[in-house]
Structure 1
Amino acid sequence: MLNSPLSPSSTELVISILDMVLSEGKPLDRAYSVHFSGLQLAPSELARITKVTGDMLRRLNLYCFLSDVKPDEISRLGTRLMNAWHMFHGLELPKLEYSLPLSEAEYVTRLEEAKKQAALWDGCPQWLEDMGQAQLGDNWPKERAALTLPPKRFIRANTLKCTRDELGKKLRNEQVQTQIVEGVETALEVTSDAALFRTESFKKGWFEQQDAGSQLVASAVDAKPGMRVIDACAGAGGKTLSIAAQMQGKGRLLAMDVEQWKLDSLKQRARRANASNIETRLIASSKTIKRLKLSADRVLLDVPCSGLGVLKRNPDAKWRDTAERLPVLVELQKHILHSYSRMVKVGGILVYATCSIMPEENRDQIDAFLVENTHFRLLEDDTISVADSGFDGFYMARLERIAE
């Protein structure tokens, strides 16, 4: 993780970010934005702070147990929590002016007790442990353990502007070390702590930061030049841009979402990537979908989900109301699948995807859909395992419309 302790100022910054996430309910990326705004920190120190904060959230209940600090006490007892984190990783304690004591004897006792509780050791809250055991059974422990690891950094070569090999060479010249990702033809793993977004390669639109698993989902669309393709839950457009590259800028790619600000962000990214065949459209009502009935060769439904496959990257979701929101999300997924599938023409392909590894959001949804929609047939589906791939966890299913 680190080979030296955090500085006092960085330690205090981690405590403040954690408190904003846990006490105020702010998303982690928003908390970073608030706290880093205006600070003149070196990229290496920003990386250290985000690494520690991410690790704290991936195993929050473990560190809280070791320090005897509750999550809602972090603003008051945060230094004690940070001392436990440093002790766990074998680092000297940060020299904080108002550091709260943590007895080494008490810490060792609690550490031995924690080692006997697998879910606690993996930073897994009880609601997630119950769900994982119920839905994944014997496969859950390896997934749970994999979700405690820090996420790797992957980028996608923008083949509208360069090849993967050309990108790797250009980044080397910019002091960014990468390696090829086997099985994902557009992916490079970044293996150095580089300021990626300051590179000339990024400014010129040669790559986008995108998990390798997410790139596999986009490749499942298998879009061809000249096709009419719809990304119906496009968000800020990571997969949309990947599909545009598949199409070599030829044909029509419609990116849709219910939030205009996300589509505006996509427009900016598309200009940098030279993805000229992307058209954005706000989903203002059900009429927006009805007008596109039976019109698309390919439709991607990357539906809203629990995000339980991307907890390495978004660990704050463990400590939110995810369990309470899941039934609502499952109903929304069902609605989107039934309604938006109308846009696929006969002979066209529908790709349903989530960033979850839970069958309730994945194969269970597809099986239920096919019972009621016999004009579709399942071609193939796959779950990208966090443990087996080293990527984020995703699910994707490819369905063909065989009749109106």
Structure 2
Amino acid sequence: MKLEMHALMTERLSQVLVPVLSQQQPLDKALAALFATEKYSVKEQANQVQLAQQLMRGLSLYEALADCRFVEQPAKVWAALASWHGYSVYGQLLPDLTELQGRAAALPAHILQGCPDWLEQLGQQELGDSWALEREALWARAPRYIRANWLKISTSELQQALLAEGIESRVVAGVPTALEILSDCALFQSRAFKQGWFEQQDAGSQWVADALQVKPGSRVIDACAGAGGKSLALAARMAGKGRLLAMDVEEWKLATLQQRARRAGAGTIETRLISSSKTIKRLADKADFLLLDVPCSGSGVLRRNPDAKWQAPMRLAELKALQRDILSRYSKMLAIGGELLYATCSIFPSENQHQVQWFLQQRPDFVLEQEQTISPAATGFDGFYWARLRRQAVITV
């Protein structure tokens, strides 16, 4: 989709984005509120979403080119972005590209790639020399992936159905449920979506769900389900047989999951709000498979949520304490012989391998079977980590 810019559009977007930067309001919610009050076409909405995300991905670069902060002079930053990318903006004189290129030549690499100083320091601490490659990958625009809902349709059948609607896609090597969407299109307006034949989900996230080897007839708990992307993927793997309990501490996310499950035909999914510690205790030893997709920094999905870079620095200490608490308490829901999948959308070892190592030291009844870091730089997917653990009986002498 070729992006379009004009002064009125960028002015209206600025009214949305300044509060996102200064009040720490999530970008997606701010845009949803804008579209709820303004009558934009589907194409206009998609254009504004892409412009907002492009600005957020490279904000440090555009502010450096404009020599001002966006919250103070948004029009000047938009003009720098437009000149840099060769956009024409009706009724506005843009800065000279040669001059901007001269300024850019003096900037450090992390500023050129839309990375604030605090994140650059943290990335180097966590990943050392490999951070530069990950930073570059996280700066790029995220590809668009969908997951074929095998409860209703195969991946190849879905690809043909989309093509019949004028939507081109390609299969994703190593991820049998995934298609990458190549067309600029209103995907959620398609007949295929309304029929529940697919969900939008990054290929890396689908890879994580596949790592928990659920089977038809299993008792499965997704204890940090959120809006249910991985719950739906697991339900499809269960082929409509068994029980999948999707749990979360936020009721509105579970309500969203219920709507998605109805569209997908995922009748095995039951939702349950975690209202107190008793909710967890009542499920002790009940699960054959347990997914703990824990709250994390989101460092692996920054290209999809670029506004997170410009708000408060990641609260790693607080998040790591929460991750350990969830591992300690929620793991008790797994039956002996069962599989636990610990997962994050982070690429930082302190949230991933280090947490699993800590847990194994605390719980001798668990063993590590396999783990993987999904690198944006290596795969082109969003960044994730997963570790599959098995609970075994502890033999006492």
What's the TM-score, normalizing by structure 2? 0.96
Q: What is the identity, as a one-letter code, of the residue corresponding to 1:271?
A: R
Structure 1 equivalent of residue 330 of structure 2 = 340
Q: 2:384 aligns with which of 369, 374, 394?
A: 394
Secondary structure of 1:62's aligned partner: helix
Deviation at 1:95, TM superposition (A): 1.9
Question: 1:88 corresponds to which residue?
Answer: 84
Per the alignment, residue 190 of structure 1 pairs with 181
Instruction: Report if aligned partners of 2:20, 2:30 keep a CA contact under 8 Å in 1.
Output: yes
**What is the distance in 2 between the residues matched to 1:358 and 1:340?**
22
- CA distance in 2 between counterparts of 1:332 and 1:217 reads 21
Cα root mean square deviation, aligned: 1.6
Q: 5 Å matches for 1:44-83? A: 44-73=43-72, 77-83=73-79
Paired letter, 1:359: P
State how far apart, in whole Å, the 2-side matches of 1:9 and 1:382 are: 46
Work out the CA distance in 1 between the residues paired with 2:312 and 2:197. 38
Q: 3-state DSSP class of the match of 1:360?
A: helix
Correspondence list, 1:117-132, <5 A: 117-132=108-123
**What do residues 200-245 of structure 1 show as CA deviations (whole Å, max 9, x unaligned)?**
1111111111111111111111110011000000011010000000
Letter in 1 for 2:61: L
Q: Describe how 1:98-109 pairs up with structure 2 within 5 A.
A: 102=95, 107-109=100-102
Q: Report the Cα offset of residue 363 of structure 1.
A: 0.4
Q: Is the 8 A contact 2:4 2:87 kept in 1?
A: yes
Partner of 2:105: 112
Q: Match of 1:403, SS? A: coil
Shift of the alpha carbon at 1:8? 2.6
- For the 8 Å contact 1:156–1:210, the answer to whether it is kept is yes
Among residues 244, 250, 256, which one is paired with 1:259 in the alignment? 250
Residue of structure 2 aligned with 1:246, choices 228, 237, 243: 237
Task: Give 1:357's aligned residue.
Answer: 347
Distance in 2 of aligned mates of 1:246 and 1:108: 51
Aligned structure 1 segments of 4 or more residues deviating by more than 4 angstroms: 101-106
Kindly indicate whether residue 311 of structure 2 is the aligned counterpart of residue 320 of structure 1. yes
Residue 82 of structure 2 contacts residue 88 of structure 2 at CA under 8 Å; is this kept in 1?
yes
Instruction: Give distance in 2, aligned partners of 1:238 and 1:108.
Output: 42
Residues of 1 paired with 2:5 and 2:240: CA distance?
47
In structure 1, what is the equivalent of residue 281 of structure 2? Answer: 290
Whole-angstrom CA distance in 2 between matches of 1:346 and 1:290: 16
Superposed displacement of residue 104, structure 1: 6.0
Report if aligned partners of 1:44, 1:193 keep a CA contact under 8 Å in 2. no
- Verify the 8 A CA contact 1:83 1:94 in the aligned structure 2: no
Deviation at 1:71, TM superposition (A): 3.8
Aligned-pair CA distance for 1:18: 1.9
CA distance in 2, matches of 1:290, 1:379: 26
Letter aligned with residue 324 of structure 2: K
Determine the structure 1 residue equivalent to 2:220: 229
C-alpha contact 1:306 1:322 (8 A) present in aligned 2: no
Q: CA deviation at 1:48?
A: 2.2
Contact 1:164 1:187 in 2 (8 A): yes
1:178 to 147, 169, 180: 169
What runs of 5+ residues in structure 2 fail to find an aligned partner? Answer: none
Q: Normalising by the residue count of structure 1, what TM-score does the alignment of the two structures yield?
A: 0.94
Shift of 1:103: 6.3
Q: Report the Cα distance in structure 2 between the residues aligned to 1:14 and 1:139, rounded to whole angstroms.
A: 35
Deviates more, 1:32-41 or 1:4-13: 4-13
Q: Which amino acid aligns with 1:110?
A: R
Query: 1:72 Cα deviation (Å)?
Result: 3.0
User: How big is each residue's C-alpha offset from its partner over 1:53-77, in whole Å with a ceiling of 9 and x where there is no partner?
Assistant: 111111111111110111431xxx1
2:243 and 2:207 mapped to 1: Cα distance? Answer: 21
The answer as to whether partners of 2:69 and 2:77 remain within 8 angstroms in 1 is no
Q: Is the 8 A contact 2:225 2:248 kept in 1?
A: yes
1:102 positional shift = 4.5
| Unmatched 5+ stretches in structure 1 | none
Counterpart residue identity of residue 287, structure 2: A
How far 1:136 sits from its partner (Å)? 0.6
- 8 Å contact kept, 1:5–1:86: no
Offset at 1:260?
1.0
**Residue aligning to 2:393:** 403
In the alignment, the residues of structure 2 paired with residue 5 and residue 185 of structure 1 have an alpha-carbon distance, to the nearest angstrom, of 35
> Does 1:277 find its partner at 2:268?
yes
Deviation of 1:194 (Å): 0.8
Alpha-carbon contact 2:84-2:100 (below 8 Å) kept: no
Letter paired with 1:370 = L
Q: Percent identity?
A: 51
Q: Report whether the alignment pairs 1:169 with 2:165.
A: no
